[in-house]
Amino acid sequence: MNLLLVLQNILAIGVPFSVALLLAALGEMFNQRAGVFNLGCEGIMAMGAFLGFLPSFLLKGGALAPWAPAIGIACAALAGVLLGLLFGLVTVSFRAPQGIAGIGLQMLGWGTAGTLSRHFVGGVTGIPGIDAWPIPGLSKIPFLGPILFSMTPFGYFGFLMVPISWYVLFKTPWGLKVRAVGTHPRAADTMGTNVARTRYQALMLGGAMAGLAGAYLSLAQAKMFADDIVAGRGFIAVALVYFGRWHPLYILGGSLLFSIAQSFQLAIQVLGIDFPYEFAVMLPYVLVILVLAFAKNSRLRGPAELGKPYNREKRV
Amino acid sequence: MNRTYRTLYSAAIILAAAAAAVGIGALVLMAIGVSVPETYRVILTEPFKDMYGITEILVRTVPLILVGLGIAISFRSGILNIGAEGQMQIGILAATAVALALPNLPKWLLLPLVLLAGALGGALWGSIAGLLKARLGVNEILSTVMLNYIAAQLHGFLLRGPMIDPAELQVGSGTPQSMRLPKAAWLDRILTGYRLHWGLAIALGLAVIVYFLMWRTTWGFRMRAAGAEAKAARYAGIRVESCLAAAMILAGAFAGLAGAIEVTGVHRRAIEGVSAGYGFSGIVVALFGGLHPAGIVPSAFFFGLLLIGADMTQRALSVPANMVLVLQGAVILSIVSAKTWLNDPYARDKAVRKMAALFGGGRK
Amino acid sequence: MAKNADRITELRVEGITKRFPGTLACDAISLRVGEGEALALVGENGAGKTTLMNILMGLYQPDEGKIFINGSPVRFRTPNDAYAAGIGMVHQHFMLVPNMTVAENVALGSAELRGRFRLNLGAARARIRQISERYGLAVLPDAYVWQLSVGEQQRVELVKTLCFGAKFLILDEPTSALTPQETDELIALLSRMTADMPLIFISHKLAEVKALSNKVTILRAGRVAFSGDTADHSSADLAALMTGHEVKLPCNECADGCGETLLAVRDLKVRSDRGHYALDGASLEVRAGEILGLAGVSGNGQRELADALAGLRSAESGSIALAGTELSGLAPRQIIGAGMGYIPEDRQTEGIVPSFSVSENLTLKDFASPRFAAGPFLRLKAADANAAELKKRYDIRCPSTATPAGSLSGGNIQKVILARELARGPKALVAVYPTRGLDMGAEEFIHKRLLELRCEGVAVLLISEELDELMNLSDRIAVIYKGRILATIPAQEATRARLGALMAGLREEEGATA
């Protein structure tokens, strides 16, 4: 019985933890489905986390305070869109190599968030953040209630994005275009799909979702902002897209796996088990490497033109 | 005439790229409400005001050259090493461990041994990503990033636990740092009173060696061929996978050596923050230096200047030192964008024709 | 934009010019196609045909020139503009997204068939059925494109274009991947369609031009060299006009000087990237002083055979022997050392390292040999001297041997590869589509060299899909079909019809050696 309670606690922490990974990975999925490999996800999340946090910090105690999280979320999404546009400019319009450009975007986003936070905030400060909103009735279900139905509204939104992403990708004309430009951009182009525009749109959507993922970290998960709040989640999200074979359902599975692994680490500390916590912190990162090593052939199923710039005027 | 226009085209793109990088930085500076020209002036000129500033630039230049050389080798060989930060930390740990374990060896033996240990440690860490890429096709960017986080935890664990200075435990302050290294493991300072050390000579010497290695030996030919066009290299009988693994190991060795030199030359003990982001700055240094030793040395000096300059702006204008990351990110984005324009003969020809039409001269 | 007229009665192009780095692909081209007409656009590879058509499709922007539809000027900034104006194109390399179904491909290209917010494939399926019934083109709307054969994909490509409401058709070498029988069917279909819509038909096969078109325009080096009625000119006249002079590509005419078997492939089984057996027990022998041609519709295992011979794809079973040395299981380095020469299919990325200099590329396989290296150090002077000599001997046109090889023209790149391979004195040479996309001059040069090699006693395996090339050069021709050698016949006995039947998989009673 006690063990069950421990498990419930681990999951009750782990499941909401997965939202940030999930949002970022679903966004990255759209990028990659369209053929763009955006490693800048980490940097966009850092900006999202900071901008999500900032209104709550500035408006603390003021009349507008209840609206602060909403303003923050909007700012985070907007910043994500803008950084997605910037990445599109560099990789789609200028056709720069995507891997290294992504590292550039990561530094830019991370550095900007750090610079602005030192200037506007100074040290680490807490904010009220977004409160949990247990669903009446459902949250009372034993075991499952505290795990699945006691999250913040932001958390429910994150899980709702799984079916929405699936629908958009497979059941809408836009999703069809996204899949086409990632697989055979020239064919899509000759059939009247604007490859650059579709990739830009996917990058903007992916950026917005990465921004939201960051805002989730600062507003709903940690309720504060620190320079290293993202701590590699953006990169893990990119790895999850590979692991999840570019499909929303598998990506959901991957996100849950990783976040539950992370909450184990907390459980170890809370339960006072004598295990160096540094090794516990390492766990998700080691897991990513293992997953990548064993999911190696999944590339065959991925978008064929992933990572390759498209140049209509190039002679074939 | 066409030649002039072509030069003009290249110059225009380089200028535009520089303007874009400076402009992105300016946007962030404006957001925090400081004077943009003043900030750039402080960054670019203040460090030259005295001997301290100049030697400190050079102190930063040393690890930047070393890390940049390793990254250039890896990029040239077709594998992107983002893991220099972690490789450096493992190098720091290995060098410190060897120095502390053998305190009684004479200097001529201990110092080379310590540096070698650092290089081997970094090489070992690099080999993980290299082998994963060569054997299992694991994306090296993701694996090296993950290895950075793992190395950081390992570094923290060892400095807080097994390798912590016993004195720290006695006093009870618990600062995560190792014991001071024995003097026999110290790299000597070049000028008394300044931190500049002979690691500079090692870095410059290795820059020359890397040039010869990559451009004058059969080994380097093989590595560059594998990196420039893997398919053609395979048809020519080159084992591309081995090249990738070798490149990552070597890149790791350079980063590890950089760590060992920082420990033996500057800090004289392992302490948190020795790697100080050099692993990431090294990527920018290598790209900015055109992935060539002759470019990397000046480029490392330039980014050393930026690092010191950013410190100074923090003190003089209270611009957070994170600003340097913003600039580095902007520089990477500008360089990779400019490169595609510079290497696109179609865009160049088109621009040249336009210029010829506007200003006359040139053939069609 | 042209008015949405029901029919396109005239398409006119005036003074179209398009430049690519280093080349003038189209030089002031003008042409006109009227109602009920089928214009054949002929010319050598690199004459500018495909470039011109891509301009008509809005894929490339012309540097100069104008396009008129039904007399009014139009400008196509994107392929969408061209579609809206009623122009449809069947591309040589099918423009189909392989991991989507036929219906999804059609929906991708037509806003009205896919719905606005919700993807509705019903309309696309209905349109596909309607078009396939009308023209007698059987197509399954829910089949995935990658599952279809090349002939079926060709049909899908045509149906797709018609589904988009094309009122004017452009077909870029539509028969290049088809068997002779499939070709005949397509030509018959297109003749029927000419009544509904005018079309432009790119080809370099003069028999098809005579069969289908009523007007012909010949392009040479980016210019219109000739325009006239097809009926007024014989195939021979057209051939002469196409190249600008009487063409006589070298032929394999000297007596049979074949020696013993040098290169022997036995029961080779190799898997493709998708995991099935791309080579399923293939056997062939090439003798010293012989050119063995390998014919076949592409995708029947040629790629995998070539890879296996280079050591880049491991054989599941069977053997490859070169002069008695077993090669299967050896690394590429060892195979090269055993005396195998190789001209890869994709010269830009497999034959050369584009960013390396001509000089470096010429030593790509020997940079570590004592000739070009002293211990671990490169002998750059020796490499440059070697490059200067080969540049002269093989007539490689480049500003200097320090120029990056990737900036040379296709013909010169192929010369670099040929020079490197031949200078090594190989025992056997595998040439994979060695003249694909080259102009006639370069083709002639390469053919001559291959014949010289034959006379020197080298075993040459020539993989090609050009029947003329195979019949001109080979001593014997082997036909590959679904990973097996269906037959090997002496070149004198080979006819287009016989090879065509074999390429389509029709086994012969006699001469079958598979």
Nearest CA to C104 among C169, C167, C163?
C163
Residue C1, pLDDT above cutoff 50: no
Chain A 2-61, CB below 8 Å of chain B: which residues?
39, 43
Chain A residue whose CA is closest to B162 = A276
Distance from B346 to chain C by nearest Cα, in Å? 5
Residues of C in contact with A304 (CB under 8 A): 98-99
Using a pLDDT cut of 90, give the percent of chain C over it.
Answer: 49
Residue of C63, C337, C353 lying closest to B233 (CB–CB): C353
Question: CB neighbours of C399 closer than 8 A, spacing ≥ 6?
Answer: none
User: Residue C37: which region, alpha, beta or left (left: phi > 0; alpha: psi -120 to 50)?
Assistant: beta
Q: Which pLDDT score, from 0 to 100, does residue B181 have?
A: 95
Q: Are residues C387 and C460 in the same domain?
A: no
Find out whether C172 and C92 touch, Cβ atoms under 8 Å.
Answer: yes
Q: Is residue C311 part of a domain?
A: yes
Q: Which pLDDT score, from 0 to 100, does residue B340 have?
A: 86
- Of the segments A145-149, B323-327, C188-192, C234-238, which one has the largest average pLDDT value? B323-327
Nearest CA to B223 among C252, A263, C376?
C376
In degrees and rounded to multiples of 5, residue C219 shows phi and psi of -105, 140
User: C226 versus B130: which is more confidently predicted?
Assistant: B130
Residue A293, pLDDT above cutoff 80: yes
CA separation for the pair C305, C283 (Å, rounded): 10
Domain count, chain C: 3
CA separation for the pair A176, B89 (Å, rounded): 46
Question: CB neighbours of C467 closer than 8 A, spacing ≥ 6?
Answer: C295, C496, C499, C500
Nearest CA to A105 among B331, C281, C377?
B331
pLDDT band at C513 (very low <50, low <70, confident <90, very high): very low
Kindly determine whether residue B231 and residue C333, on different chains, have CB atoms separated by under 8 Å: no
Find out whether B312 and B38 touch, Cβ atoms under 8 Å.
Answer: no
Using a pLDDT cut of 90, give the percent of chain B over it.
Answer: 82
Q: Is residue A144 part of a domain?
A: no
Residue C410, pLDDT above cutoff 90: no
C250-276 pLDDT tens trace? 777 666 667 889 999 999 999 987 778
- State mean pLDDT over A54-65: 90
Q: Is residue A90 part of a domain?
A: yes
Question: CB neighbours of A66 closer than 8 A, spacing ≥ 6?
Answer: none
Distance from B224 to chain C by nearest Cα, in Å? 9
Cα Rg for chain C, rounded, in angstroms? 25
Q: How far is residue B43 from each of residues B62, B296, B307, B327, measured CA to CA in Å?
A: 19, 20, 8, 11
CA separation for the pair C101, C142 (Å, rounded): 5
Chain B residue whose CA is closest to A284 = B146
Q: Is residue C300 part of a domain?
A: yes
Q: Which CATH number is A40's domain given? A: 1.10.3470
Neighbours of B99 (CB within 10 A): 31
Touching subunits of A (3+ CB pairs, under 8 Å) are B, C
Residue B5, pLDDT above cutoff 60: yes
Residue C360 lies in domain: 354-424
Burial class of residue C215 (count of CB atoms within 10 Å of its CB; 0-12, 13-18, 19+): buried
Is the CB of residue B346 less than 8 Å away from at least one CB of chain C? yes
DSSP code string of A58-74: HTTTSTTGGGHHHHHHH
Find out whether A92 and A196 touch, Cβ atoms under 8 Å.
Answer: yes
- The residue ranges of every structural domain in chain B are 1-32+335-364, 40-149+182-319
Kindly determine whether residue B236 and residue C312, on different chains, have CB atoms separated by under 8 Å: no
Residues of C in contact with B222 (CB under 8 A): 367-368
> Both tokens of residue B326?
């913003």
Residue A297, pLDDT above cutoff 60: no
Last residue of one domain, picked from the residues C218, C243, C268:
C243
Contacts 24+ apart (CB under 8 A), C222-230: C222/C23, C222/C24, C222/C25, C222/C26, C222/C27, C222/C29, C222/C47, C222/C48, C223/C27, C223/C28, C223/C29, C223/C48, C224/C29, C224/C30, C224/C31, C225/C43, C227/C31, C230/C40
CA separation for the pair A149, A143 (Å, rounded): 10
Is the CB of residue B249 less than 8 Å away from at least one CB of chain C? no
Question: CB neighbours of C484 closer than 8 A, spacing ≥ 6?
Answer: C279, C280, C281, C282, C301, C514
Nearest CA to B328 among B356, B300, B358?
B300
In degrees and rounded to multiples of 5, residue C245 shows phi and psi of -155, 170
- Bridge partner residues of B63 (DSSP): none
Distance from B28 to chain A by nearest Cα, in Å? 7
Q: Which pLDDT score, from 0 to 100, does residue A33 have?
A: 96
Find out whether C279 and C514 touch, Cβ atoms under 8 Å.
Answer: no
ipTM: 0.92
Kindly determine whether residue C352 and residue B232, on different chains, have CB atoms separated by under 8 Å: yes
Tell me how many residue pairs between chain B and chain C have CB atoms under 8 A apart. 77
C311-320 pLDDT tens trace? 999 999 999 9
Kindly determine whether residue B322 and residue A286, on different chains, have CB atoms separated by under 8 Å: no
Question: CB neighbours of A150 closer than 8 A, spacing ≥ 6?
Answer: A12, A132, A134, A135, A139
Residue A36, pLDDT above cutoff 50: yes
Q: Which pLDDT score, from 0 to 100, does residue C500 have?
A: 82
Residues of A in contact with C51 (CB under 8 A): 315
pLDDT band at A291 (very low <50, low <70, confident <90, very high): confident
Kindly determine whether residue B237 and residue C355, on different chains, have CB atoms separated by under 8 Å: no
Chain C residue whose CA is closest to A196 = C78
Find out whether C323 and C459 touch, Cβ atoms under 8 Å.
Answer: no
Compute the C-alpha angle C99/C100/C105, nearest 5°: 135
- State mean pLDDT over C172-193: 84
Q: Which pLDDT score, from 0 to 100, does residue C143 have?
A: 92
Question: CB neighbours of B111 closer than 8 A, spacing ≥ 6?
Answer: B184, B185, B186, B187, B264
B32-75 pLDDT tens trace? 999 999 999 999 999 999 999 999 999 999 999 999 999 999 99
Q: Which pLDDT score, from 0 to 100, does residue C508 have?
A: 66
Question: CB neighbours of C117 closer than 8 A, spacing ≥ 6?
Answer: A172, A173
A102-160 pLDDT tens trace? 999 999 999 999 999 999 998 888 899 898 889 888 888 888 888 888 899 999 999 99
Q: Which pLDDT score, from 0 to 100, does residue C243 have?
A: 64
Helix (H, G, I), strand (E, B) or coil at C297: coil
Q: Which pLDDT score, from 0 to 100, does residue C246 have?
A: 53
Mean pLDDT over each residue of chain C, to the nearest integer: 87
Touching subunits of B (3+ CB pairs, under 8 Å) are A, C
Q: Is residue A82 part of a domain?
A: yes
Nearest CA to B308 among B30, B55, B37?
B55
Question: CB neighbours of C273 closer than 8 A, spacing ≥ 6?
Answer: A300
Q: Which residue has the tokens 């990708």?
A: A169
Residue B21, pLDDT above cutoff 90: yes
Q: What letter represents residue B112's amino acid?
A: P
Mean pLDDT over each residue of chain B, to the nearest integer: 93
pLDDT band at C247 (very low <50, low <70, confident <90, very high): low
Residues of A in contact with C80 (CB under 8 A): 192, 194
Touching subunits of C (3+ CB pairs, under 8 Å) are A, B
CA separation for the pair B266, B186 (Å, rounded): 9
Q: Are residues C92 and C139 in the same domain?
A: yes
Cα B71 off chain centre by: 7
Last residue of one domain, picked from the residues C243, C270, C286:
C243
Residue B309, pLDDT above cutoff 90: yes
Is the CB of residue C312 less than 8 Å away from at least one CB of chain B? yes
Is the CB of residue C472 less than 8 Å away from at least one CB of chain A? no
User: C507 versus C63: which is more confidently predicted?
Assistant: C63
User: C203 versus C374: which is more confidently predicted?
Assistant: C374
Mutate: best of A112, A262, A314, partner B, most B CBs <10 A: A112
Q: Which pLDDT score, from 0 to 100, does residue C275 have?
A: 77
Chain A residue whose CA is closest to C82 = A192
B206-216 pLDDT tens trace? 999 999 999 99
Q: Which residue has the tokens 């009487």?
A: C246
Residues of C in contact with A192 (CB under 8 A): 78-80, 83, 109-111
Residues of B in contact with C332 (CB under 8 A): 234-237
B233-285 pLDDT tens trace? 999 999 999 999 999 999 999 999 999 999 999 999 999 989 989 999 999 99
CA separation for the pair A262, A11 (Å, rounded): 10
Q: Which pLDDT score, from 0 to 100, does residue B173 have?
A: 77
Q: Are residues C482 and C430 in the same domain?
A: yes
Kindly determine whether residue A279 and residue B32, on different chains, have CB atoms separated by under 8 Å: no
Chain C residue whose CA is closest to A303 = C99
Residue A60, pLDDT above cutoff 50: yes
Residues of A in contact with B341 (CB under 8 A): 94
Residue A64 lies in domain: 7-123+153-301
Neighbours of B313 (CB within 10 A): 24
Residue C510, pLDDT above cutoff 50: no
Contacts 24+ apart (CB under 8 A), A144-148: A146/A8, A146/A12, A147/A8, A147/A11, A147/A12, A147/A15, A148/A15
Q: What is the pTM of this model?
A: 0.90
Helix (H, G, I), strand (E, B) or coil at B270: coil
Kindly determine whether residue C367 and residue B345, on different chains, have CB atoms separated by under 8 Å: no
CA separation for the pair A216, A46 (Å, rounded): 11
- State mean pLDDT over C43-71: 87
Kindly determine whether residue B225 and residue C350, on different chains, have CB atoms separated by under 8 Å: no
- State mean pLDDT over A248-275: 86
Q: What letter represents residue C383's amino acid?
A: A
Q: Which CATH class is domain B40-149+182-319?
A: mainly alpha
> Both tokens of residue A114?
């750090």
Q: Which pLDDT score, from 0 to 100, does residue A209 have?
A: 98
